[in-house]
Structure 1
Amino acid sequence: MYNARIAMLHADLGIAAGYAQRSGLPLQIEPEELVDAGKDMFGRDQKLTPLALAAWQKMQLAAADQGVTLLLVSAFRSVDYQAQLIRKKLDAGRTLEDIMQFNAAPGFSEHHTGRAVDIACPDAEPLQEEFEKTIAFNWLKVNAKDFGFVMSYPRDHRHAISYEPWHWCFQLDQ
């Protein structure tokens, strides 16, 4: 049923069959349990899995104790919401090829798992490469693994998604 839903969304968006093979991204399953993770930096409600939320809160607090501010930009996204994001960009005139460099196809975003977070800080615009030049990014490179988070899309990774220094995924509750 989940695979059929993904196939339908892909067909609706014009994403050709074989996306997994082309992108190198695995299918991501939505979790059975999500909990309220509070508001993101834009005031939107966010959700994470219980273990990912606990790890995010501990990491955010540890960073704050060292004078580093970690802001939540986004967390869980349903496959339908992912499709809406892509549709909105298509409707604005962007090409599917361009969009797929920065957004995984529905069903293939780590945000579907409730374990991925996009992180920002006051020193840089959210979701921009300039984040890599911040104290927050340097702190994450050294400390995020202690809380179970890894940067999913570092420079020169093997997936079809562009470099995303702001995207980190909790790995311990798989």
Structure 2
Amino acid sequence: MVETELFLFKEAKPEDLILIGKDFFGRDVHLDKNTEIAWNKMYQAAKQDNVELFIVSGFRSYEYQQGIINRKLAKGIPLEEIKKVNALPGMSEHHTGRAIDFTTVGEDEVLTERFEETVAFEWLTKNAHKYGFKMSFPRDNKYGFIYEPWHWCYNY
């Protein structure tokens, strides 16, 4: 086991996470307790502005993240290709319980750059900071990750 100090993002402790409901695909979503409070406030504000926000992904453990990588490797996708779109275990903000991937009504496919063309993205860009959220991976971000307009993280 690699020491967590070597990871860019530490995994949240189970006692710091709460089940907040289901994601867009019907899977359980866990978030950091403070993130859940901020998410609820932001969700309600968006709803008042007739903007639909749906969670695609919240907390992911190191093991879950490794499973994503393993499934793609089993399909014959080279690791270098996988790393362009999926962070390796320890390299994902989702480990913190503070990151949320969003989708909204009318998207044909989730987690694509086309999210930036939605009303939800426009709303997040103008309002997410009021609730402590920011887009983590804008174009040319400091981590070298791909542009992810759907990925927002609570920073308290």
TM-score strictly above 0.5:
yes
Q: After TM superposition, list the pairs within 5 Å mapping 1:91-102 onto structure 2.
A: 91-102=74-85
Partner SS for 2:50: coil
Partner SS for 1:141: helix
- 2:137 is the alignment partner of 1:153: yes
Q: After TM superposition, list the pairs within 5 Å mapping 1:50-129 onto structure 2.
A: 50-124=33-107, 125-129=109-113
Q: 1:68 to 1:106 in 2, by over 3 A?
A: same
What is the aligned length? 153
Partner SS for 2:136: strand
Partner SS for 1:159: coil
Structure 1, unaligned stretches of length 5 or more?
A: 7-19, 21-25
| TM superposition score normalised by structure 1 | 0.84
Question: In structure 2, what is the equivalent of residue 12 of structure 1?
Answer: none
Partner SS for 1:100: helix
Structure 2, unaligned stretches of length 5 or more?
A: none
Taking the aligned partners of 2:91 and 2:140, their CA distance within structure 1 comes to: 19
Partner SS for 1:122: coil
Taking the aligned partners of 1:56 and 1:86, their CA distance within structure 2 comes to: 28
Contact kept? 1:27, 1:108, Cα under 8 Å = yes
- 2:12 is the alignment partner of 1:31: yes
Taking the aligned partners of 2:116 and 2:69, their CA distance within structure 1 comes to: 25
Q: Identity across aligned pairs (percent)?
A: 48
Shift of 1:158: 2.5
RMSD: 1.6
Taking the aligned partners of 2:112 and 2:75, their CA distance within structure 1 comes to: 20
